[in-house]
Amino acid sequence: MECVNPKKNYLSASLWIFLALNLDIIVHIATTMLIGDDVIYRAAVSKTVTIILWSISVAIVIKYLKIKKPSITVNHEGILKISIKFLVTIILIAVVNYNVKSLGVIQIIHEYQYSMAHYNQLGFVTFMLQIIYYFLEASLITLIIITGSKWGLNKRYNHIMPYGGLILALTWGAVHFLTQGISVGLYGVFIALLIGLGYLHTDKNTVLTYIAALFIFLI
């Protein structure tokens, strides 16, 4: 059973993580104002600062939640069932990404092509920074799902509801309506709920949930 501490405010933790996710918007605006949007190295500076801030945020949340080791084990009786549900989650993410993003290739290849085409000699460096950026964004998304789930459990709400996914949908997912429009907003909400359901149906396995979250940005 998932462990919760009744003294911890998991909902507040989820919202703080969401605020940390939005630091990248502030960094983007600040670097654009200070450096200029048409300067080649601005993207690299922006990503580097965001990576530092997100790394600190992840460390703080992990310390607050007292996460010592990710859950990587499942009951042998349910391993096939969990594997199938995880695979279904990954396939759904891939299908949705392919149809919504319409990149023609998987996203990691698109990121490489874009970086090499737009940032000249800094292309590969910018690409690697972008990948690290995605790894950290997936970490923060996973942490929102974990804290959201713990909030629901702490309140003794219906244990079959994907509270982590709901919190993620109402924060990270919904903010896409404001930043990228209705279609991307709907995509963000759907993906958030999908990852939340994946967390629930893989017996709240944090490693599998993180991999699923990472796939949002790489496939």
Task: Confirm whether 179 is domain-assigned.
Answer: yes
Q: In the prediction, which pLDDT does 64 show?
A: 85
Task: Confirm whether 4 is domain-assigned.
Answer: no
Task: Confirm whether 48 is domain-assigned.
Answer: yes
Task: Confirm whether 1 is domain-assigned.
Answer: no
Q: In the prediction, which pLDDT does 65 show?
A: 83
Tally of domains within the chain: 1
Q: Answer whether residue 2 shows pLDDT above 70.
A: no
Mean pLDDT of 183-195: 93
Domain that holds residue 183: 10-218
How many other β-carbons are positioned within 10 Å of the β-carbon of residue 43?
A: 21
User: What's the pLDDT tens digit per position in 62-73?
Assistant: 988 876 655 555
Q: In the prediction, which pLDDT does 98 show?
A: 84
Q: In the prediction, which pLDDT does 68 show?
A: 61
Mean pLDDT of 31-48: 92
Mean pLDDT of 47-66: 93
Task: Confirm whether 3 is domain-assigned.
Answer: no
Task: Confirm whether 197 is domain-assigned.
Answer: yes
Q: Answer whether residue 1 shows pLDDT above 80.
A: no
Mean pLDDT of 71-100: 78
Mean pLDDT of 51-60: 96
Q: What's the pLDDT band for 121 if we cut at 50, 70, 90?
A: very high
Per cent of the chain over pLDDT 90 is 61
Mean pLDDT of 177-200: 92
Helix (H), strand (E), coil (C) string for the chain: CCCCCCCCCHHHHHHHHHHHHCHHHHHHHHHHHHCCCCCCCHHHHHHHHHHHHHHHHHHHHHHHHCCCCCCCCCCHHHHHHHHHHHHHHHHHHHHHHHHHHCCCCCHHHHHHHHHHHHCHHHHHHHHHHHHHHHHHHHHHHHHHHHHHHHHHHHCCCCCCCCHHHHHHHHHHHCHHHHHHCHHHHHHHHHHHHHHHHHHHHCCCCHHHHHHHHHHHHHC
Task: Confirm whether 153 is domain-assigned.
Answer: yes
Q: Give the best-scoring range by mean pLDDT among 44-48, 161-165, 196-200.
A: 44-48
Dihedral sign for Cα atoms in the order 124, 129, 132, 133: negative
Q: In the prediction, which pLDDT does 126 show?
A: 96
Task: Confirm whether 2 is domain-assigned.
Answer: no
Mean pLDDT of 168-176: 94
The CA dihedral of 108, 113, 119, 121, to the nearest 10 degrees, is: 100
pTM value is 0.90
User: What's the pLDDT tens digit per position in 123-145?
Assistant: 999 999 999 999 999 999 999 99
